[in-house]
Structure 1
Amino acid sequence: MKIQSILLTIFLLTAAFLSGCNTNSPNKKDQATNKNDDTILTVFTTIYPIEDFTKRIGGKHVEVKSVYPAGADAHTFEPTMRTMMDIADADLFIFNGAGLEPFIDKTKSSLANEKVTMVEASNGIELLSGNDDHDEADHNDNKEEEQDHHHHGKDPHIWLDPVHAIKMAENIKDALTEVMPSAEDDFEKNFIDVKQELEKLDKEFKKTVDSADHKEILVSHSSYGYWEHRYGLKQISISGLSPENEPSQKQLQTIIETAKKHNISYIIYDQNPVTKVADVVKKETETTPVTLHNLEYLTENDIKNNEDYFTIMNKNIETLKKVLAK
């Protein structure tokens, strides 16, 4: 990635020099105010919910492209230099932030003077600490091991909480309006539609958890801290906030004992590849595997089946109803 960064910097400096030779070239502010109804905004995004919300809110005024290919892992993905060049020439680049995308900090300075405006969709959202997913498996006497098991930053999985997703959508709407004020009414109307759908999801999640026989879920990846905080679920997580953050042998044994204590029947995988550690837990607890979609990306099957944020989240609710029953 160092070589790519150097080449990208050279490219951007060259582009800046050439644009500087044109005295009629508009600056970023001029480009924003000169947008008209016939202009299509080019927007790059990271995780799928941002892509979906931007398409819904932007409507006919946007062309939205995700930097992630199908099946990409948001925690480790690195864009190609070609992709970075395309982003530099776009109108907006909307990313989650909260430490989710590792390449963002590397590119902020390089893109600072380019055409693109960078937008952090998590701006204004109170993030949970990486140490706040207090599943019972972590309540052991070895505090040092407990700290090692958890991420020391913030939990970035805000889009799974419909209430936080409303704020993300609002940030997207505001960013679109900033660069294309002529379409403000359209953006506002489309945002209200998205907001109402998210409010319906919030009510359905609350109803599902409130009426559940138990609150504990055994998950392969600690993606669901915001469901814990919002609705009262209790996730017993095998890996940490990043799937690569796996437990120690002692913590793994505690996870197995905790799952057995609560008579948990299902182990929940996300759409990421299954880890060997999660398979060990499945075998030792004799649990049945099911899937909750964390929406970081779409799979090839999701694309083929025309899935979107709301169809996937509604399927997640149906899965929760199943795993929270006796």
Structure 2
Amino acid sequence: MRLVQTVVTFLLIGIFVVGCSAKEASNSNEDSELTIYTSIYPFQFAVEQIAGDTVTVNTVYPPGADAHTYEPTSQDMIELSESDAFIYLGAGMEGFSENIASTLDSEDVKLIEMGQYDELFNGEKSHEEHDHHAVEDDHAQKVEIVGLSGHYHTGDSINLTAKIEESIDYDHLHWFTLNPDDEEWVVVDGQTSDEFEGEAEVNGQQIKAELYGEDHEVVAKSEPITIEIDDHGDEEHSHEEGHDHDHGDEEHAHEEDHDHGHGEEEHAHGEGHNHDHEGEQSDRPIEIDGVLGHYHTGDAINLTARIEESIDYDHLHWFILNPEEEEWIVVDGQTSDEFEGEAEVNDQQIKVELYGKDHEVVGESEPVTIEIDDHEGDYNPHFWIDPLRMIQAADIIKDELIKMNPEQEEMYNENFEELKEQLTDLDDQYLDVLSTKENKAIIVSHAAFGYWEERYGINQININGLSSAEEPSQKQLIEIINQSKEHNIDYVLFEQNSSNRLSEVVRKEIEAEPLTIHNLSVLTEEDIDQGEDYISLMEYNLEILDQITK
């Protein structure tokens, strides 16, 4: 009866029978204690490495299937209903998996939805009481650098802050820089606090912070951030004598009654303080540095007002304007050139105004916009291409395996530590190879490799979107071709489990050679026959990246 109910429910939710499918190679053992199914291959790999012969594990994908378009068969559902657990991505990223989970909800099958763990996608720790960033892991990201501007002009001040988790125990820290043509990181003399101050001099310079224990061993370090210098050229941003930024009336229309709508209740500096801008300098002598490309809700906002030395002012105030409001509101208690806040409202604008002793406005910045992207329903699902995120995923899976089979806790923990070491070594290999590259632009068939951008500085030019079904418009396709030419790209990367018509169009247009990169979502028949696994395929990918980057 249990089996009949499962099949009937499966048919009712509209997933059609398309015939039986072959399974990828599995860790099959008649004496195993558990039977587990997974969606993507990396989950299967983690189970195999941690549980060994105590589990029979299969993936629902046939060899070489496109994970974005695959639909399970009725036979798949029958087998799943008889298993002990189903590990899947979910969270809006695998439509078929959520259908499966819904169907199996009434069955005695443990459902493990990996997509609910935000730290796999944004790097934050949220797996309940479990610490997936153990201090002994040199690469644990307990240090985050904030304050990076989108770009700098030559000579601009660089003001960064190392945001350090309270749980980490360290004795002191050092800042390091790495210039594009250098191979060795250089310690920054005299900077041992969590605040970094420098000057933008070298485009592409990387900066990182490392924390040390009393024995001078590294206990944690940040991801490197990159300083991008864009002086815009003479026609865009001339820093010549006089600093003439003529924006024209259409850009900065300061009407005669331009009072910014602060109102007496919002910004009461006494009688007569009406924010009259008659004395305001129109050449924008103030710029706001430190705004990030996007924030997550609750992230710290750290901004700096960069004020020209020539401007004479007495005090300043910061203001915010929320999207649904018409009037700017003064930020209480923030009267220095440093702004500290919290990301709470998407598209909130922030600006700073300078005042003379007579409370007249003598200058104001352009507003900056705070963009909040919590990735809800729009996560990049391909976290498994980052070895450190794979450690986090494996840790979660290990904990679930222990709950299901507590008698094997010691073995599972030991096997996890071995896997963690392998994945950390793999990350080291990627860092060693890619840190020496200057041109890391690659063109790929779809946006599966964004975590390489974040971790290793790869510049992914993707033809399709996060799903292989998200095709670009004609205009976007032209832009992709232009970008490829600008970056002198010699290769177009195809993936092991899908053909891409538009990738071939781009390849021919830029006269590039085709190569295959492995997205690891599924194994092919050839992978299985040759005994490939996550580690060997990631090492293959690194060889490809080494070949095509410069």
Q: TM-score, normalised by structure 1?
A: 0.79
Match of 2:96 in 1: 103
Given that residues 221 and 241 in structure 1 are in contact (C-alpha distance below 8 angstroms), is that contact kept between their aligned partners in structure 2? Answer: yes
Match of 1:93 in 2: 86
Pair 1:88–1:324, CA change in 2 (3 A): same
Q: Does 1:112 align with 2:105?
A: yes
Give per-residue Cα distances to partners, 1:7-51, cap 9 Å, x unaligned.
432899xxxxxxxxxxxxxxxxxxxxxxxxx76100111111111
CA distance in 2, matches of 1:152, 1:183: 36
Match of 1:203 in 2: 428
TM-fit CA distance, 1:216: 0.8
Bigger Rg over Cα: 2
Letter in 1 for 2:110: T
Counterpart of 2:514 in 1: which secondary structure?
strand
CA distance in 2, matches of 1:109, 1:152: 18
Letter in 2 for 1:92: A
Q: Does 1:71 align with 2:64?
A: yes
Match of 1:17 in 2: none
Match of 1:287 among 508, 512, 519: 512
CA distance in 1, matches of 2:11, 2:496: 36
Give per-residue Cα distances to partners, 1:39-87, cap 9 Å, x unaligned.
6100111111111111111112101111111011111111112211221
CA distance in 2, matches of 1:99, 1:288: 35
Q: 1 or 2, which has the higher helix percentage?
A: 1
Match of 1:20 in 2: none
Given that residues 10 and 103 in structure 2 are in contact (C-alpha distance below 8 angstroms), is that contact kept between their aligned partners in structure 1? Answer: no
CA distance in 2, matches of 1:55, 1:233: 30
Give per-residue Cα distances to partners, 1:106-127, cap 9 Å, x unaligned.
2333322311101123442432
Counterpart of 2:400 in 1: which secondary structure?
helix
CA distance in 2, matches of 1:42, 1:171: 18
Give per-residue Cα distances to partners, 1:212-269, cap 9 Å, x unaligned.
1312111111110111111111101111111111100010001001110111111111
Q: TM-score, normalised by structure 2?
A: 0.48
CA distance in 2, matches of 1:10, 1:293: 32
Higher relative contact order (CA 8 A, sep 6+): 1
Pair 1:11–1:284, CA change in 2 (3 A): closer
Given that residues 74 and 100 in structure 1 are in contact (C-alpha distance below 8 angstroms), is that contact kept between their aligned partners in structure 2? Answer: no
Pair 1:107–1:213, CA change in 2 (3 A): same
TM-fit CA distance, 1:89: 1.8
Letter in 2 for 1:8: V
Match of 1:9 in 2: 9
Match of 1:257 in 2: 482
CA distance in 2, matches of 1:216, 1:5: 51
Q: 1 or 2, which has the higher strand percentage?
A: 2
Given that residues 77 and 102 in structure 1 are in contact (C-alpha distance below 8 angstroms), is that contact kept between their aligned partners in structure 2? Answer: no
Pair 1:7–1:98, CA change in 2 (3 A): closer
Letter in 2 for 1:298: L
CA distance in 2, matches of 1:190, 1:305: 24
The percentage of counterpart residues that share the same residue type is 42
TM-fit CA distance, 1:99: 3.3
Given that residues 6 and 78 in structure 2 are in contact (C-alpha distance below 8 angstroms), is that contact kept between their aligned partners in structure 1? Answer: no
Pair 1:222–1:39, CA change in 2 (3 A): closer
Given that residues 97 and 156 in structure 1 are in contact (C-alpha distance below 8 angstroms), is that contact kept between their aligned partners in structure 2? Answer: no
Match of 1:35 in 2: none
Pair 1:297–1:165, CA change in 2 (3 A): same
Match of 2:524 in 1: 299
Pair 1:6–1:46, CA change in 2 (3 A): closer
CA distance in 1, matches of 2:546, 2:479: 26
Q: Does 1:316 align with 2:541?
A: yes
Counterpart of 1:154 in 2: which secondary structure?
coil
CA distance in 2, matches of 1:227, 1:72: 23
CA distance in 1, matches of 2:91, 2:517: 22
Match of 2:396 among 153, 166, 171: 171
CA distance in 1, matches of 2:6, 2:410: 42
RMSD, aligned α-carbons: 2.2
1:84-233 pair list within 5 angstroms: 84-126=77-119, 127=121, 153-233=378-458
Given that residues 497 and 524 in structure 2 are in contact (C-alpha distance below 8 angstroms), is that contact kept between their aligned partners in structure 1? Answer: no
CA distance in 2, matches of 1:323, 1:121: 33
Letter in 1 for 2:84: D
Given that residues 123 and 171 in structure 1 are in contact (C-alpha distance below 8 angstroms), is that contact kept between their aligned partners in structure 2? Answer: no
